[in-house]
C-alpha cells in the first residue's frame, strides 16, 4: 500500500509538471528533457523533500550547475527553467523567491580569454612545469593560480560575476605590485604600500581605493585564511570635487525620442523611477504593483 501511494504521488507530481510546461508554452518535444533535469535534481537531493528546500540549498545547486564544464550554456539555462517550473508546479514559495533570471544570465558561453572564465584564462600548471619555467613566467603562473583560488572562493559564496571580475582585477594588481614577496610574506605593510601607491601615484578616488581594499581583504580572509593586520596608517585617497552631469528635461526628451520598444521602456524607468541599469533589466511583471503604482526592487 505504501509503495502504491508513493507511485500515485509521483504520478501526480509529473502530471502537474507536464501541465505547467504546456501552460508556459514549452514545446512538447522538450518535455522529456525538462523532466530529466528535474529527476537529476531530485536524485542529487534524495534526503530533502521538494518543499523543504531553501534559497541556500537551491543557490548552492545552481552554482554547481553553472560551474559544471560538461554542459553548454543553453543546457544550463534549460535546466534552470526546468527547476523553476518544477517549483511552480508544486506551488512552492521558492518559485518567486529565487532570482531565476540572474542564474540564467550567469550561464553564458564565454570566450577563452574572458575574465570570468578562470579555467581557460588561468590554466592549471603542474609543479614540474613551474620548476622549469623562467622566473618571470613562474611569477605569472603563480599569480594566475592565486586568482584561480580567489575565483573559486568567490563562486562558493555565490557572489555576482561583476564582483568576481572586480575582485580578481584588484587582487591581480596587488600581487603584481608585491612580486618580490611570496604569498606567505605579504601582509599589512604590503597592503599599505599598494593602497598608498593607488592614492599617490595613480590618484584614484576614495571609493576606488576602498574597493581595492575590500578585494584584498576578501583574498586574505577566504584564500590565504588569515587577517591582513593593522593597516590604519596608510595614506587615504583625497576626495575629488566634481560636479555631477545632469541632463535637462529637453535633453532627456531628445534621448527618449531616439529610442523605441524595450530600450525606451528601460531608459524611461532609469530616468523616471531612479532604477539602476541591472535593476531595470531584471525587472519582472510580478515586481510591478499597478494597484499601488509601485515597483518592487
Closest by CA to 217, choosing from 243, 192, 236, is 192
Parallel, antiparallel, or unpaired for β 288-289 and 294-295?
antiparallel
* Sign of the torsion angle spanned by Cα atoms 126, 128, 131, 135: negative
User: What's the confidence (pLDDT) of residue 122?
Assistant: 35
Span 153-165, mean pLDDT?
87
Q: Which of 15-29, 122-136, 216-230, 236-250 is predicted with the least confidence, judged by mean pLDDT? A: 122-136
What is the average pLDDT score of the chain?
80
Is a pLDDT exceeding 70 seen at residue 118? no
Q: Which of 18-22, 94-98, 234-238 is predicted with the least confidence, judged by mean pLDDT? A: 234-238
Q: pLDDT digits over 233-243, tens only?
A: 777 877 766 66
C-alpha cell at 155: 563562486
- What pTM, to 2 d.p., does this model score? 0.45
**b vs e for 165-197, b when ≥16 Cβ sit within 10 Å of the residue's Cβ?**
ebbbebbbbbbebbeeeebeebbbbbbbbbbbb
Q: pLDDT digits over 97-114, tens only?
A: 888 887 887 776 544 444
Amino acid at each position: 500500500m505504501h509503495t502504491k501511494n508513493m507511485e500515485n504521488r509521483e504520478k501526480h507530481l509529473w502530471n502537474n509538471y507536464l501541465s505547467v510546461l504546456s501552460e508556459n508554452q514549452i514545446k512538447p518535444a522538450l518535455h522529456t528533457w525538462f523532466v530529466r533535469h528535474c529527476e537529476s535534481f531530485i536524485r542529487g537531493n534524495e534526503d530533502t523533500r521538494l518543499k523543504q528546500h531553501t534559497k541556500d540549498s537551491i543557490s548552492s545547486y545552481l552554482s554547481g550547475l553553472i560551474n559544471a564544464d560538461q554542459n553548454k550554456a543553453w543546457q544550463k539555462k534549460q535546466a534552470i527553467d526546468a527547476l523553476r517550473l518544477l517549483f511552480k508546479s508544486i506551488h512552492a514559495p521558492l518559485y518567486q523567491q529565487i532570482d531565476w533570471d540572474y542564474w540564467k544570465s550567469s550561464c553564458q558561453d564565454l570566450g577563452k580569454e574572458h575574465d570570468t572564465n578562470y579555467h581557460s584564462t588561468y590554466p592549471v600548471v603542474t609543479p614540474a612545469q613551474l620548476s622549469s619555467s623562467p622566473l618571470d613566467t613562474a611569477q605569472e603562473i603563480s599569480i594566475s593560480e592565486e586568482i584561480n583560488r580567489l575565483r573559486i572562493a568567490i563562486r562558493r559564496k555565490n557572489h555576482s560575476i561583476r564582483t568576481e571580475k572586480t575582485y580578481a582585477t584588484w587582487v591581480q594588481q596587488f600581487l603584481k605590485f608585491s612580486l618580490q614577496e611570496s604569498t606567505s610574506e605579504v601582509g599589512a605593510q604590503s597592503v599599505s604600500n599598494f593602497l598608498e601607491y593607488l592614492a599617490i601615484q595613480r590618484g584614484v578616488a576614495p571609493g576606488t581605493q576602498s574597493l581595492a581594499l575590500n578585494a584584498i581583504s576578501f583574498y586574505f580572509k577566504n584564500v590565504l585564511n588569515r587577517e591582513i593586520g593593522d593597516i590604519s596608517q596608510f595614506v587615504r585617497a583625497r576626495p575629488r570635487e566634481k560636479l555631477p552631469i545632469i541632463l535637462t528635461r529637453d535633453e532627456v526628451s531628445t534621448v527618449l525620442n531616439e529610442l523605441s520598444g524595450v530600450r525606451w521602456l528601460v531608459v524611461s524607468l532609469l530616468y523616471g523611477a531612479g532604477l539602476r541599469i541591472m535593476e531595470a533589466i531584471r525587472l519582472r511583471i510580478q515586481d510591478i504593483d499597478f494597484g499601488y503604482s509601485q515597483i518592487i526592487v
